[in-house]
């Protein structure tokens, strides 16, 4: 995938707060138009915050034996939560689908409503394989992910982060929050703890996707006692 050659997001505001039981971050950045769709040639806006889970972990997705943990919000997933899963027929009202065995309701088949019978789902290979990106009944627009270098991005199945984003008057505002538990990531938010974080922003209208994104270096922070 080509790298990002022109910046369309020149700055982002990041605020963090904790009450000892939860930690939350608020992200805000200018964006003339909200991108909330994913199809051929169209991509979604998104933002993520990354933390090092090992000393000297590289800011570019960590490295072998030097993991990082990220919390990722996506505008498309926010729309899925707010409005329901958007299928091909919604995007293209005049589209027509052929017969799908065991699909309910006749043609054109609607996703996911027509595919309640498990026998009707062999065409949804990523969903059948358990790929979380293919989730059709999304309850949160936030995902926790881990990585140890390029190409190693992995979904964290027991992630507990949540959040919400909204676009208004030419800007995104996104809040991500997470309970403080006894896991390693929560240890980075203990009173007096000093560590670093990095932020990435995807501008869907500019073709940002995957590694083609705006990103910061490590930024130092310290939790007040």
Residue 216 lies in a domain: yes
**Structural domain count of the chain:** 2
Assess whether 66 and 145 both reside in one domain. Answer: yes
Same domain, 41 and 60: yes
- Region of 102 (left: φ > 0; alpha: ψ -120 to 50; beta: rest) is left
Alpha carbon distance 159, 183 (integer Å) = 11
Q: Are residues 190 and 175 in the same domain?
A: yes
Average pLDDT, the chain: 92
* pLDDT tens digit sequence for 9-55: 999 999 999 999 999 999 999 999 999 987 778 899 999 999 999 99
- Residues 152 and 175 reside in one and the same domain: yes
In a domain, 4, yes or no: no
Do residues 109 and 159 both lie within one domain?
no
Judgement on whether residues 39 and 116 belong to the same structural domain of the protein: no
Q: Are residues 194 and 214 in the same domain?
A: yes
The domain in which residue 158 lies consists of 13-84+138-222
Cα–Cα distance, 65 to 72 (Å, whole number) = 22
Q: Is it the case that residue 120 has pLDDT exceeding 60?
A: yes
State the CATH number of the domain containing residue 36.
2.60.40.1190
**Owner of token pair 């991108």:** 35
Q: Which residue has the tokens 């990082």?
A: 68
Residue 132's pLDDT band (boundaries 50, 70, 90)?
confident
Tokens, residue 21: 């039981």
What whole-number distance in Å separates Cα of residue 189 and Cα of residue 56? 18
pLDDT at 168: 96
Q: 169: Cβ–Cβ under 8 A, 6 or more apart, which residues?
A: none
Are 75 and 113 contained in the same domain? Answer: no
Average pLDDT on 4-13 reads 92
Q: Which residues pair with 179 in a beta bridge?
A: 22
pLDDT at residue 87 is higher than 90: no
Among 71, 106, 129, where does a domain finish? 129
Is residue 210 in a domain?
A: yes
Which of 105 and 23 is assigned the larger pLDDT? 23
Same domain for 183 and 111, yes or no, is no
Note whether residue 118 is domain-resident: yes
Q: Are residues 146 and 173 in the same domain?
A: yes
Average of per-residue pLDDT across 140-151: 96
Per-residue model confidence (pLDDT) at position 109: 86
Residue 7 covered by a domain:
no
Higher-scoring residue by pLDDT: 143, 123: 143
- Residue 131: CB atoms within 10 A of its CB come to 12
Residue 58 has pLDDT above 90, yes or no: yes
For 154-188, the pLDDT digits (tens) are 999 999 999 999 999 999 999 999 999 999 999 99
Q: Is residue 35 part of a domain?
A: yes
For residues 201 and 220, give the distance between their C-alpha atoms in angstroms, rounded to a whole number.
18
* Res. 2 pLDDT band, cuts 50 70 90: low
Angle at 146 between CA 148 and CA 184, to 5 degrees: 105
pLDDT the model gives residue 1: 52
Same domain membership, residue 209 and residue 121: no
Whether residue 150 sits in one domain with residue 211? yes
Q: Within a domain: residue 5?
A: no
The answer to whether residue 2 sits within a structural domain is no
H-helix or E-strand containing 131?
Answer: none
User: What is the per-residue pLDDT for 70?
Assistant: 98
* CB hemisphere CA count around 137 (13 angstroms): 5
């Amino acid at each position: 995938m080509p790298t990002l050659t022109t910046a369309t997001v020149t700055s982002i505001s990041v605020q963090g707060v904790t009450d000892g039981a939860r930690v939350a971050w608020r992200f805000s950045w200018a964006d003339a138009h909200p991108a909330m769709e994913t199809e051929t040639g169209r991509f979604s806006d998104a933002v993520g915050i990354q933390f090092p889970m090992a000393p000297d972990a590289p800011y570019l997705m960590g490295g072998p034996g030097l993991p990082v943990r990220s919390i990722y919000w996506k505008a498309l997933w926010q729309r899925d939560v707010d409005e329901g899963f958007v299928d091909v027929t919604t995007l293209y009202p005049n589209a027509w689908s052929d017969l799908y065995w065991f699909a309910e309701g006749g043609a054109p088949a609607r996703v996911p409503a027509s595919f309640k019978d498990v026998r009707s789902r062999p065409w949804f290979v990523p969903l059948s394989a358990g790929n979380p990106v293919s989730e059709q009944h999304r309850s949160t627009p936030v995902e926790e992910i881990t990585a140890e270098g390029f190409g190693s991005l992995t979904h964290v199945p027991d992630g507990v982060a949540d959040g919400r984003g909204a676009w208004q008057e030419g800007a995104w505002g996104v809040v991500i929050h997470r309970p403080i538990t006894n896991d390693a990531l929560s240890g980075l938010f203990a009173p007096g703890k000093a560590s670093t974080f990095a932020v990435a922003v995807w501008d869907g209208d500019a073709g940002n996707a995957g590694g083609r994104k705006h990103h910061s270096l490590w930024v130092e922070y310290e939790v007040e006692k």
